[in-house]
Amino acid sequence: MGVAVIEAALTTMPQSPGVYRMLDAKGDALYVGKARALDRRVRSYTQIGRLPERLRRMVSETVSMEIVTTHTEAEALLLEANMIKRLKPRFNIVLRDDKSYPWLMLTGDHPYPQIAKHRGAQVRKGSYYGPFASAWAVNQSLTAMQRVFLIRSCADTVFANRQRPCLLFQIKRCSAPCVGRISTEEYDRLVTQAKTFLSGGQVSVQKELAAEMEQAVEALEFERAAVIRDRIRSLTFVQGTDVVNPADLRDADVIAIWPIAGQTCVQVFFIRGGRNNGNRAFFPAHARTEEPPEVLRAFIAQFYDDKPPPPQILVNHALPEQELMAEALSVKAQRKVAILVPQRGEKRQVVAHAEVNAREALERKLAESAGQQKLLEGVAELFGLPAPPERIEVYDNSHIMGTNPYGVMIVGGPEGFQKSAYRKFSIRSAITPGDDFGMMREMLTRRFSRALAEQGTGTSAGTMPDLVLIDGGAGQLSAAQAVLSDLGVSDVKLVGIAKGPDRDAGREWFHTEGREAFQLPPRDPVLYYLQRLRDEAHRFAITSHRAGRSKTLRTSELDQIEGIGAARKRALLNHFGSARGVKMAGLRDLEEAPGINKEMAQRIYAYFHPGQRVEGVS
């Protein structure tokens, strides 16, 4: 089927640059590739004898093809990276990176700009600096910027309602512009210095502060001089804490890959304005036969799909089609982007440092995996499984007297917690307060009905677990067994974990079919592992319930009033402080609220006071 499908597609295949997708019977992408000439590249898949086994299997599963033409091969490369990251085809090298990266933001729409951490689209007017590797890295920089430049970090609504300086002013991390402790001109100078520093002008800022301190001393303004001295000390501390801070590297990413036993780690250091904004380790999914340069090329293409590339990218391996990659990134950034493989000097030392971090991160991961395998072997022996479990599913639920009920499923296995496979179940049926059995029945019915429907499709939902852990005792286990029996699922091991006396950790009782309830020795490593699984499910259930409850709480009686949309609701809540404040407000108070005319005020008042006659409202 596969070769015939490809040959049929070739009859209308253009010779222009573009991206092709090979699709399976469900319409899911098996592989996404780019080509300078689509016809020539796709034709190579018909020569089945020359393909490795992995690609022969891919071709055999192909039932249709789709193409998108582009103007240039560089555009095709960018589109290929976007599709791979979005579709996650099984036969591609895939970067597992679903996190947005934090930035530092200096707002530009307020007389006294705010410095804050920012994620997501950069739609607010202002200056953005980053990205940073983690929330920890950006928080460290935010604290340092407050200490050195005394710029406010409070939200505009808080700023507008301050009557006296906050604690940050007392600990010398803010200049208190909210209550006039600093002039607009002086604050603007602080903001200018901060922008200069974040753009790489540390030396000029330090010289400027030193000159200011000398002027203050000469003018006998010793208190002001002491403040500037503290700022200089903080600035020196910030400059001295960077691990990677080469003098001739201003804006760059340092990317190094390290392979061990068919697995790879890619370590990325973010250098911005001559400072180290932190580093992160990535473990791309790929076939064991893939060579490091090819993995690194795929990683870089996908990594910059949703973030701007810096002017320089330092790598430890020459990339296949390196010039094309640099051209594609330059198109994306709308300026020149250079990809360099340093051979000597300070830049080579920085890359070598990233290599060491990549190797150590991968060694730690492999060591953890080896330890994890021993634990899974212990679990298999404990519960009589034929082999160490590849997929363990743990179920728990959370509610308050039957309100906002949520059930959850977490997944563990040889690679640890598989968070991409976690699932939340908003309980749809009417639940009697305290009916945990009913919640468990609905959750398992939905999960395993879908698993049976999608079994054999290769999707996570269609994968059956080797072991299912239920938070509960014999009653919960019996309810779970009834559900699986009704569905005809007989090859999944079910275990209930009941809390011990006084809910003490370490004294749990384990319930499973064909065996009396039992406990494990208090310091058994397998017991610790099972507790960790149970606790992770409990954590996920609590956070899911809280998120659902807060979403419910965000809806209020205001949503029921005709003519009250999101903007008016926000204006009312900001003006009166809460929905209760709106409810208690008088008609005149409502009329004076921003964005509320007389007719709307009468309508709101009438809604909350149905027994009173209000003029103009029927």
**Backbone dihedral angles phi then psi of residue 531, each to the nearest 5 degrees:** -65, -40
* CATH 3.40.1440.10-classified regions of the chain: 2-87
Per-residue confidence band for 553, with pLDDT thresholds at 50, 70 and 90: very low
Beta bridge partners of 313: 253, 339
Domain 2-87 has CATH 3.30.1180.10: no
pLDDT at position 547 over 70: no
Could you tell me if 277 and 137 are in contact, meaning their C-beta atoms sit under 8 angstroms apart? Answer: yes
Average pLDDT over residues 449-461: 73
Per-residue confidence band for 618, with pLDDT thresholds at 50, 70 and 90: very low
Domain 392-552 has CATH 3.30.450.30: no
pLDDT at 613 (0 to 100)? 59
Beta bridge partners of 468: 393, 494
pLDDT at 236 (0 to 100)? 62
Q: Where are the alpha helices (DSSP H) in 133-180?
A: 135-149, 156-160, 167-170
pLDDT at position 544 over 80: no
pLDDT at 598 (0 to 100)? 85
What letter does residue 286 receive in the DSSP assignment? Answer: -
pLDDT at position 411 over 60: yes
pLDDT at 149 (0 to 100)? 87
Rounded Cα distance between 150 and 12, Å, is: 64
pLDDT at 467 (0 to 100)? 95
pLDDT at position 228 over 90: no
Tell me the per-residue pLDDT of 232-268, one tens digit each, with 9 for 90 and over: 766 665 554 444 455 567 899 999 999 988 889 999 9
Tell me the per-residue pLDDT of 58-84, one tens digit each, with 9 for 90 and over: 999 999 999 999 999 999 999 999 999
Neighbours of 448 (CB within 10 A): 22
Per-residue confidence band for 275, with pLDDT thresholds at 50, 70 and 90: confident
Cis peptide before 259 (omega within 30 of 0): no
pLDDT at position 573 over 80: no
Q: For the domain with range 252-363, which CATH number is right: 3.40.50.2300, 1.10.8.60, 2.60.120.650, 3.30.420.10?
A: 3.30.420.10
What is the identity of the amino acid at 5? V
Tokens of 35: 């080509």
pLDDT at 237 (0 to 100)? 57
Coil, strand or helix: which one is 89?
coil
Average pLDDT over residues 99-125: 89
Short-list 42, 36, 69, CA closest to 55: 42
| C-alpha of 436 from chain center | 31
Tell me the per-residue pLDDT of 27-41, one tens digit each, with 9 for 90 and over: 899 999 999 999 999
* CATH 3.30.420.340-classified regions of the chain: 392-552
Burial 418-437 (b: 16+ CB within 10 A, else e): beebbbbbebeeebeeebbb
Q: What is the mean pLDDT of the chain?
A: 84
Rounded Cα distance between 529 and 453, Å, is: 31
Neighbours of 22 (CB within 10 A): 25
Max mean pLDDT range (90-104, 180-194, 312-326, 588-602): 312-326
Per-residue confidence band for 371, with pLDDT thresholds at 50, 70 and 90: confident
Choice among 17-26, 49-58, 241-250 with the minimum mean pLDDT: 241-250
Could you tell me if 422 and 410 are in contact, meaning their C-beta atoms sit under 8 angstroms apart? Answer: yes
pLDDT at 121 (0 to 100)? 82
What is the identity of the amino acid at 140? Q
What is the identity of the amino acid at 192? T
Q: For the domain with range 557-608, which CATH number is right: 3.30.420.110, 1.10.150.20, 3.30.565.10, 1.10.10.10?
A: 1.10.150.20
pLDDT at position 500 over 70: no
pTM of structure = 0.67
Could you tell me if 256 and 315 are in contact, meaning their C-beta atoms sit under 8 angstroms apart? Answer: yes
Count CA atoms closer than 13 A to 340's CA, side-chain side: 20
* CATH 1.10.150.20-classified regions of the chain: 557-608
